[in-house]
């Protein structure tokens, strides 16, 4: 029996310190150029604060620096110079190399993005911490040796084209600890808290990322629960993970999935999180937890719901404005039932390509979803059956085996064994396996073509009769052309594979790190069947512009396969953008495009799916996963 719980109040206090608020202000200074700072025609540069938070008295802010080159000339070198508050430190940066001397942040390119080609852009990101929040004082960019001042020291002659909201920030005094959370302890040892794990401002809206923790130190199992959170003002719900969400009339209702519905004694759930926003800055969110049919509300009323089975509990008065909770067992999450028994390969067999879609052995449209290893030479420990099995349990039906093709990135024919092992494990588990020739630093697939020929000769001879093997012949060509380099390479490698394996799906990489599928769709490979084309994205970097390319390619009939993607930025690190990632997933689902998430490792980078503090190499539970891992496992489970 559940002990009768008393009234319950939970107010989630948010920090309102000036320091924090200025920390979340988003400043955008976009200068098309004018006066003595005129940038070259067709070139724009910006410094934008895309996020900010406060922790232990330090301000953290995330800056995004962009240079867009729409001119007809390549930019051969670039550098940013930005003045930061005293004592600023770089916590993390990506897609460039930042260093601080005095107050000045200097950002230099990495080898691969030193040149900004015509119609391309570079985006550098960093997270800085300092005692003071960031306010733009001096921002400059150096292009091919010439300095252009974007902001500060009187050198800017016009107003920024973008909106600079920094000065509109309110200046209230601090009242509460910034990430404070937590309601009162329920009498029987059950507690819950909502932690604000991130916050930022975008346009006119304030965004809050929350984590829900329910801790059961009572002596009774919680069999079911749900949570209501009131979002003041004009609110919206943008993203949630590891639970079901409905948002109606300003109230977000969170109900568990099957696996986290019951909370046994002395255990807690802490993997549930969501992002909400309001047009008002929110000081506190009211919330109410319903536990086994009883709702504990902030207004000190207890609404007891009739329980299903014995239905003996009295229903006490409900608030007038509250939606009637008839027959009021908290809604049961639809169980994640596998549609059929048997493994993915047993059910769907040999795959082929029809139109822009994959179809299974019965000719029905089919979507592959799964995970990619990191470079097998670097993280061979995750190339094992238990690791793949965990992801199959979460809902994956494919693993991608990434073999870097560059000797500087660990390539050696002695690593073939890692592919053999990986295909074996996938086969035993009835999963599909993608053999990925992971071009990256080597750029042009012709650089190591002799090795590719040997590799695909060997692999296709070995796997000619496997129903579950897919070949990906060049992960991400870059710095080379489709017509002159990639397409001829692909035609040769396809011939090599087809000499052994007549009909397996072959994925061909596309220019600019597998983004320019629109260009390929205007001159695809002809006279072959079961060919697909790689489309890669990292949601915090690639958004509508790449989706538009994908849409063009689809319109032109090009079959796409997202053989690699991440929710973070293109460096494989930086903050996740789950809002954009969700847009991508909807786009892919609605076009029946398969997708594989980078990467199965515990490396200390955002894209790693395993938590960096987890040393297990298999039998993962959700708690072993990183933020990215939890999010993606949830995507898979929802679609299982």
Binding site for ligand IDC (CB under 6 A): 409, 440, 475-476, 513, 536, 538, 564, 570-572, 598-599, 603, 605, 607
DSSP at 482: I
Closer CB to ligand IDC, residue 318 or residue 409?
Answer: 409
Q: Report the C-alpha gap between 290 and 481 in whole angstroms.
A: 59
For residue 54, list its beta bridge partners: 59
Q: Which is nearer to ligand IDC, 207 or 513 (CB)?
A: 513
Q: How far is the CB of 536 from ligand IDC (least distance, A)?
A: 6
Which C-beta is closer to ligand IDC: that of 294 or that of 374? 374
Contact 399, 371 (CB under 8 A): yes
**Structure token pair of residue 613:** 């503090």
65 within 8 A of 239, measured Cβ to Cβ: no
Residues with Cβ within 8 Å of 305's Cβ and at least 6 positions away in sequence, in order, are: 290, 293, 294, 295, 313, 315, 325, 328, 329, 330
Q: Which of 297, 392, 472, 564 is catalytic?
A: 564
Three-state SS across 309-368? CCCCCCCCCCCCCCCCCCCCCCCCCCCCCCCCCCCHHHHHCCCEEECCEEECCCCCEECC
For the question of residue 638 being annotated catalytic, the response is: no
564 as an active site residue: the answer is: yes
CB of 439 to ligand IDC, least distance (A): 8
Q: What angle do CA 582, 583, 587 make, to 5 degrees?
A: 115
Shortest Å distance, C-beta 444 to ligand IDC: 15
Say whether 436 sits in a helix, a strand or coil: strand
How long, in residues, is the chain? 640
Distance of alpha carbon 638 from alpha carbon 356, whole angstroms:
24
> Closest approach of Cβ 228 to ligand IDC, in Å?
39
Phi then psi for 234, rounded to 5 degrees? -90, 100
Nearer to ligand IDC, 189 or 410 (CB): 410
Q: Which residue has the CB atom at the shortest distance from ligand IDC?
A: 572
Cβ closer to ligand IDC: 343 or 514?
Answer: 514
Report how far residue 417's alpha carbon sits from residue 305's, in angstroms, rounded to the nearest whole number: 59
Helix axes 416-429, 449-463, angle to 10 degrees: 30
Residues sharing a CB contact under 8 Å with residue 437, sequence separation 6 or more, in sequence order: 403, 405, 445, 452, 455, 456, 472, 473, 474, 475
Least spacing, CB of residue 353 vs ligand IDC, in Å: 23
Residue closer to ligand IDC by CB (options 114, 350) is 114
Of the residues 297, 476, 580, 627, only one is catalytic, namely 476
Q: CB–CB of 54/19 below 8 Å?
A: yes
Q: Which is nearer to ligand IDC, 341 or 613 (CB)?
A: 613
Nearest approach, Cβ of residue 486 and ligand IDC (Å): 15
Which DSSP letter does residue 184 get? P
- Give 536's contacts (C-beta < 8 A, 6+ positions apart): 476, 513, 514, 515, 562, 563, 564, 565
CB of 480 to ligand IDC, least distance (A): 15
Question: What secondary structure letter does DSSP report for 623?
Answer: G
Instruction: Report the nearest approach of ligand IDC to the CB of residue 438 (Å).
Output: 6
Which residues are known to be catalytic?
Answer: 476, 564
């Amino acid at each position: 029996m559940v002990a009768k719980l008393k009234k319950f109040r939970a107010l989630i206090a948010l920090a309102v310190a000036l320091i924090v608020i200025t920390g979340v202000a988003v400043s955008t200074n976009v200068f098309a150029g004018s006066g003595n700072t005129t940038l070259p025609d067709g070139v724009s540069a910006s410094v934008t604060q895309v996020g900010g938070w406060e922790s232990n008295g330090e301000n953290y802010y995330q800056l995004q620096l962009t240079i867009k080159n729409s001119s007809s000339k390549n930019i051969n070198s670039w550098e940013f110079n930005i003045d930061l508050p005293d004592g600023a430190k770089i916590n993390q940066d990506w897609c460039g190399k930042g260093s601080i001397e005095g107050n000045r942040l200097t950002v230099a390119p990495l080898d691969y993005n030193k040149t900004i080609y015509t119609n391309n852009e570079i985006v550098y990101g960093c997270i800085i911490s300092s005692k003071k929040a960031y306010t733009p004082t001096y921002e400059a960019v150096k292009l091919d040796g010439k300095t252009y001042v974007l902001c500060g020291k009187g050198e800017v002659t016009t107003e920024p084209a973008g909106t600079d909201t920094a000065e509109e920030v309110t200046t209230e005094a601090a009242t509460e600890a910034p990430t404070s959370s937590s309601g009162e302890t329920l009498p029987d040892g059950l507690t819950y808290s909502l932690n604000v794990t991130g916050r930022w401002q975008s346009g006119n809206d304030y965004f809050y990322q929350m984590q829900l923790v329910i801790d059961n130190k009572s002596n009774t199992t919680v069999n079911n629960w749900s949570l209501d959170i009131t979002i003041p003002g004009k609110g919206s719900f943008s993203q949630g993970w590891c639970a079901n969400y409905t948002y109606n009339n300003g109230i977000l209702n969170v109900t568990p999935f099957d696996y986290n519905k019951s909370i046994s004694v002395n255990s807690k759930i802490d993997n549930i999180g969501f992002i909400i926003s309001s047009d008002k800055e929110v000081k506190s969110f009211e919330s109410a937890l319903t536990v086994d049919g009883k709702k504990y509300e902030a207004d000190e009323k207890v609404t007891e719901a009739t329980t299903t089975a014995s239905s003996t509990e009295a229903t006490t008065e409900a608030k007038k404005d509250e939606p009637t909770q008839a027959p009021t067992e908290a809604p049961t999450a639809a169980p994640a039932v596998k549609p059929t028994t048997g493994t993915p390969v047993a059910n769907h067999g040999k795959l082929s390509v029809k139109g822009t879609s994959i179809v299974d052995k019965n000719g029905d449209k089919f979507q592959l979803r799964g995970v990619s290893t990191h470079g097998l030479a670097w993280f061979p420990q995750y190339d094992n059956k238990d690791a793949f099995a965990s992801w199959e349990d979460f809902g994956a039906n494919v693993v991608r085996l990434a073999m870097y093709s560059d000797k500087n990135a660990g390539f050696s024919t002695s690593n073939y064994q890692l592919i053999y092992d990986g295909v074996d494990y996938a086969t035993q588990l009835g999963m599909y396996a993608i053999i990925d020739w992971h071009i990256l630093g080597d750029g042009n697939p012709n650089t190591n073509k002799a090795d590719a020929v040997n590799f695909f000769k060997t692999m296709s001879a070995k796997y000619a009769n496997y129903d579950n093997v897919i070949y990906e012949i060049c992960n991400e060509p870059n710095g080379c052309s489709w017509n002159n380099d990639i397409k001829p390479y692909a035609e040769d490698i396809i011939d090599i594979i087809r000499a052994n394996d007549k009909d397996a799906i072959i994925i061909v990489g596309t220019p600019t790190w597998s983004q320019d599928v629109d260009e390929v769709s205007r001159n695809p490979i002809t006279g072959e069947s079961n060919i697909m084309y790689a489309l890669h994205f990292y949601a915090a970097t690639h958004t509508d512009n790449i989706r538009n390319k994908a849409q063009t390619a689809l319109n032109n009939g090009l079959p796409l396969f997202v053989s690699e993607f991440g929710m973070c930025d293109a460096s494989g690190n930086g903050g996740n953008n789950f809002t954009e990632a969700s847009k991508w997933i909807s786009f892919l689902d609605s076009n029946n495009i398969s997708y594989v998430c980078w990467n199965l490792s515990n490396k200390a980078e955002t894209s790693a799916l395993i938590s960096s503090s987890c040393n297990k190499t298999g039998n993962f539970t959700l708690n072993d996963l990183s933020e990215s891992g939890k999010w993606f496992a949830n995507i898979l489970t929802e679609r299982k």
